[in-house]
Amino acid sequence: MTTLSNASPRVTVLMPVYNGGEYLRAAIDSILVQTFRDFELLIINDGSTDQSVGIIRSFSDSRIRLVENDGNLGLISTLNNGLRLARGEYVARMDCDDLSRPRRLEKQVALLDANPAMGVCGSWVRKFGVVTDKVCRYHTDSGLLACGLIFDPVLAHPTVMLCRRIFLDQGLEYDPEYRHAEDYNLWVRAARLCEFGNIPEVLLDYRVHTSQVSQVNNPEQRANAGRVRCSLLAELGLDPSKEEFDIHQRISTSTVSGCEYLFRHSDDWLCRIWEANRDTQRYCESELSLVLAERLVTLLKKMLENRVALEFRMFRPRLLNITGIGWVGIGRFILQSIRGEAGRA
């Protein structure tokens, strides 16, 4: 592979590859045509046995830097190695089966440059492939994102760009004890040290196919993500029972089948989280109220879509009463979120 002419690029695009030959060329092309040009594309081959290496070597672009692992070390080790090998001020994640939009790097660098306290930023994504095309939207405000971590990672991992110095200085890396939820665990730790953000625009097309880790390893992913959620609940002074934690997992993943009186139990549990925060002051109350209410309404929508039996509590949830948000307030907030305006001044 040709040696880089720029030993200190602004951005390192980190792309782990393991038998990714089917979609690899398109993924690499989507990086090489970026409007932001000052980057290296660090591709780490993790012991591929298909044509991946040949495809990578077929490119003559001097910004591509190929590193080969000694065998198949796994995604977490490969990512951690990539963070150490990266030369850029910022590190952008990229999977070998996705497509970055042309202005992705340009817009993420601009956001991080303009916000020195921000250490991680992502964007909206479009899912495509074996699913119906769908745009996944994420909050942009750091406070709302911090509250949202109680339930899920709040960032689409393949869209992330992070400030390498913050992560190296603080010893932040992916933890192998949280396999398949390693990003979620990392963001929780990073959120204590820097602000987060999302660009309210689709900057990456996320390919969904049947062999993905997120589908193949779903039970392990759910269990390890649950451990992360438990740690955040503990910071609020909450030690949920088995039944309460099952409700929390259901709220987090919008799983509505197989639980009688789910809405009532969910409403009660979200109220407990809100009350616990009043005691601990762990999160901004107004931001947490919005995130909790949004979760409850999202669950209600999912239940109605799946024709789950109606409950009286659905029409008068206690959470909307104690937070003072009301149906109009949460409706306005969800509409702003869809437009990418929630949390902005």
- Locate 35 and state its tokens: 């409007």
Q: Per-residue pLDDT for 290 more than 90?
A: yes
- Residue 271 per-residue DSSP state: H
Residue 157 φ/ψ, nearest 5 degrees: -50, -45
Task: Spell out the SS3 assignment of 298-337.
Answer: HHHHHHHHCCCCCCHHHHCCHHHHHHCCHHHHHHHHHHHH
Quickly list DSSP for 121-158.
EEEEEEEEESS--EEEP----HHHHHHHTTTS--S-GG
User: Which pairing describes strands 99-100 and 195-208: parallel, antiparallel, or unpaired?
Assistant: antiparallel
Instruction: Read off the pLDDT of residues 134-180 as tens digits, 9 standing for 90 and up.
Output: 999 999 999 999 999 999 999 999 999 999 999 999 999 999 999 99
Does the pLDDT of residue 331 top 80, yes or no?
A: no
CA pair distance 118, 141, nearest whole angstrom = 11
How many other C-beta atoms can be found within 10 angstroms of the C-beta atom of residue 217?
15
pLDDT for res 339: 62
At 90-137, the pLDDT tens digits run 999 999 999 999 999 999 999 999 999 999 999 999 999 988 889 999
Report helix, strand or coil for 115.
Answer: coil
**Averaged pLDDT, 7-17:** 95
Q: Is 261 left (phi over 0), alpha (psi -120 to 50) or beta?
A: left
Interatomic CA distance for residues 254 and 256, integer angstroms? 6
State residue 218's pLDDT score: 84
Rounded-to-integer distance, Cα 140 and Cα 196, Å: 8
Mean pLDDT, residues 271-278: 98
Residue 240: CB atoms within 10 Å = 18
Position 2 confidence tier, pLDDT thresholds 50, 70, 90: very low
- Per-residue pLDDT band at 217 (split at 50, 70, 90): low
**Mean confidence (pLDDT) of the chain:** 91
Compute the average pLDDT of residues 262-281: 96
Q: What SS3 class is residue 241?
A: coil
Q: How many residues does the chain have?
A: 345
The pLDDT value recorded for residue 105 is 98
Superfamily in which the 11-215 domain is placed by CATH: Spore Coat Polysaccharide Biosynthesis Protein SpsA; Chain A (3.90.550.10)
Q: Is the pLDDT of residue 236 over 90?
A: yes
Decide if pLDDT at 3 tops 70: no
Mean pLDDT of 310-333: 82
Percentage of residues of the chain with pLDDT beyond 70:
93
Q: Per-residue pLDDT for 344 more than 50?
A: no
What's the token pair of residue 44?
A: 């780490």
Q: How far apart are CA 205 and CA 159, in angstroms?
A: 9
- pTM for the full predicted model: 0.91
Q: pLDDT grade, residue 214 (50/70/90)? A: low
Kindly indicate the confidence band of residue 338, based on its pLDDT and cuts at 50, 70 and 90: low
Q: Where in the chain is the domain with CATH 3.90.550.10?
A: 11-215
